[in-house]
Every structure is written in structure tokens, then in C-alpha cells.
Amino acid sequence: MKIEQGESSLISSSTSISDLFFTEYLSQANGDFVKVYMYLYFISKYNNDLKINDLAKKLELPLKTIQDALKYWEEQGLLSRKGQGFVLTNILEIEIQKLYKPKVSLSPENMKAISDNKIRSKAITAINDEFFQGVMSPSWYGDIDLWFKKYNFDEEVMIALFRYCFNRSALNRNYVATVASAWNKSKIQSFADLDAYFQKQEKLNLQCKDIKKKLRLTRNLSMFEEAYVEKWIMNYGYDSNVIDLALMKTTSKSNPSFEYIDKLISDWHERNFKTADQIKKYLENKKTQPVQTETKSGKTSKTVNHSFKNLSDFYVNTDDDE
């Protein structure tokens, strides 16, 4: 494998890496991958042949880690294959292409909008100073302007978006874009929308913890289970009192599933029940209604279910909701 860059002398030379590497690539890369890239960048100046096995020994890394690192940097566009080796790509050229390459639904006029809008310019400056120490890559400007146009976020929401990702140590473009898309799907545009969204999320988190405790689960809820809880709270508008009624129905189940609980709650929602009191009344009435059974002779007889002193007794003695 041969890594090329240019001619130089080891004693008199130094290795200088573009600041763009630190602003655009460093935070997202695995530490060992960074180690590999830095050494390749250094050794490329001497046009030496370097075997992957020797590189693994030199850096004291497993061979697979070296192979994964090469693949990673190739995917990032910082390495390109040439014969049996690689050529280091100029980072500045990559970022210039990102900056001036037309984006989906982003016209040249929109690229200039960020400087024409003083309020947005202040928001961008605040993002640059607070989260990038004043050295935000130029390519971020186009992305931020695109999100302004695409999602119609106000300036406070955009700043909150970066703060949210920064606090989770995930200030990379893919993650920020994913969160921005999720907020858009939740119809967030103003800071008031965002505040209401966070309140709902806090309510959802507390409810998940409460369900976990009441079901005596020793694990966290899966993303699919959390989706059920979100549906009960966000879509159906039910509070913990209603959800508790469904949880009580699981006392007769050895291994209750969220699908079972969802079936109960969805049935109540389809019946247009709004409160726990409405559901309790429905369940009590259901227990006292005559049940038709067919005898061996083919005749139909009616029996009346006995009511229970309280709802807990009902749940303990009931295996289904029919």
C-alpha cells in the first residue's frame, strides 16, 4: 500500500493538518481511526510503501481496526483508492464543494438569505460562538439556512436545536439533521411549540418510568414499548389513571405484553372513553351483564356475572376483556 502527498525531508519538515479536520471530522470519528488517519497523513509526505500489517504493528492496533479505519476515511471522502494504495484528499476542496454544491430546495438566492436577515445572522453568530468557539465550518451555514427554509424554525428553536445536540455530545451534521426532522414532524416551529413538546416528552418519560416500576421490569422499555406509551399519551390523550386501569388487567397474566395492554387501551379509545371514571363504569356494567351460554341440549341459558367489591378484584379474576 502506498500513500502519496508530496516530497519533504523528515528533519526539516512538520505535519500541518487543516483546521477543517478538527471542526468537521474529529468529533465524529473513532479515536483509533483518528490515530490511523494522522499517521497516514504524516507518512504520506514521503511516498513510502506501507503494508497494512506493518501499519498495525507500528500503531499497535489490530489489523481489523486498520482495515475499518481505511474504509471509514474512504467513506468520509478523505481517502481515495489509487492502484494498490490510497491518496489523501484535500479537505479544503471537499468543504468548498459542500459549500457551493446546490442543496435540495436551496437556490443561490437562499444561500445569500442568511446575510440579509439580521435576526437570523445573530442566531448563527450565537450558534457559532456558543457551540463552535467561533470556528464553525462554512458548510454549516448552508445547512442551517436550509433548515430555516425547510422547517420554518424561528431563531430560538434553531439555537435550541444545537444546544439539544451539544448537550448530548452529538454535534454532528447527521444527528442535528435527524433531530431537526423529528421536531418538524412534531409540528415545532416556535419556541412555544418546542416548550410544549418538551413538557410532553417529560410527561412521557415519567410515565415510562412509572409503568416500568408497576410492571416490576428490571430493564428499560424498548423503543417499541415507548412508542405504545407515546400513543396512549400523545395520540389518545390518556393520563396515568387510565393507563393504570390497563396495567391492573395484567395481574392475571404471567408474562403480560405491551400488545395486550395496547389492545385494552385502544379499545377504550375506540369507544370514545375520555376519563378513567367512564372506563370504570363501563367495566363494572360489563361484569353485571347476563352472559349467554349454550347447554349440552342446545338450549341457551343466561347467567349473571357477580360484581366485585373493587376494580382490583375484577382484574385479578379476569383473563380477557371480552
pLDDT in tens, 56-102: 888 888 889 988 888 888 888 788 777 677 777 777 666 655 555 54
Domains of the chain in start order, with CATH, are 3-94 (1.10.10.10), 102-189 (no CATH), 194-316 (no CATH)
H or E element at residue 81: strand 79-82
User: Strand pairing of 85-88 and 3-4?
Assistant: parallel
Residue 153's identity, in one-letter code, is F
* DSSP notation for 92-111: HHHHHHHHHSPBTTB-HHHH
CA angle at 60 for the pair 58 and 64, rounded to the nearest 5°: 105
The strand pairing partners of 227, in sequence order, are none
Residue 296 has pLDDT above 90, yes or no: no
Displacement of CA 276 from its chain's centroid (Å): 33
pLDDT bracket for residue 136 (50, 70, 90): confident
Position 183 scores a pLDDT of 93
pLDDT bracket for residue 3 (50, 70, 90): low
- Could you tell me what percent of the chain has a pLDDT over 70? 75
| 158 close to 123: Cβ distance less than 8 angstroms | yes
The strand pairing partners of 49, in sequence order, are 2
- Could you tell me what percent of the chain has a pLDDT over 90? 25
Question: What SS3 state is found at 301?
Answer: strand
The pLDDT tens digits of the residues spanning 228-281 come to 998 998 888 898 999 999 998 887 766 778 999 999 999 999 999 999 999 999
Chain position carrying cell 481515495: 80
Residue 314's identity, in one-letter code, is F
Pairs from 111-120 (Cβ < 8 Å, separation ≥ 24): 111/142, 111/145, 113/145, 113/148, 113/149, 114/141, 114/144, 114/145, 114/148, 119/155, 120/145, 120/148, 120/155
Position 139 scores a pLDDT of 80
| 15 close to 62: Cβ distance less than 8 angstroms | no
Q: Cell numbers of 256, please?
A: 403480560
Closest CA to 94 of 107, 111, 76: 76
Residue 311 has pLDDT above 80, yes or no: no
Residue 114 has pLDDT above 60, yes or no: no
Average pLDDT of the segment spanning 207-221: 89
Average pLDDT of the segment spanning 9-26: 71
Average pLDDT of the segment spanning 187-215: 90
Q: Cell numbers of 80, please?
A: 481515495
Average pLDDT of the segment spanning 195-204: 88
User: Strand pairing of 79-82 and 85-88?
Assistant: antiparallel
Position 157 scores a pLDDT of 94
Phi, psi of 133 (to 5 degrees): 50, 35
Position 215 scores a pLDDT of 87
Closest CA to 157 of 190, 117, 125, 130: 190
Q: How far from 128 is each of 202, 205, 252, 268, CA to CA, in Å? A: 29, 31, 57, 50
Where is pLDDT greater, at 265 or 21? 265
Position 316 scores a pLDDT of 43
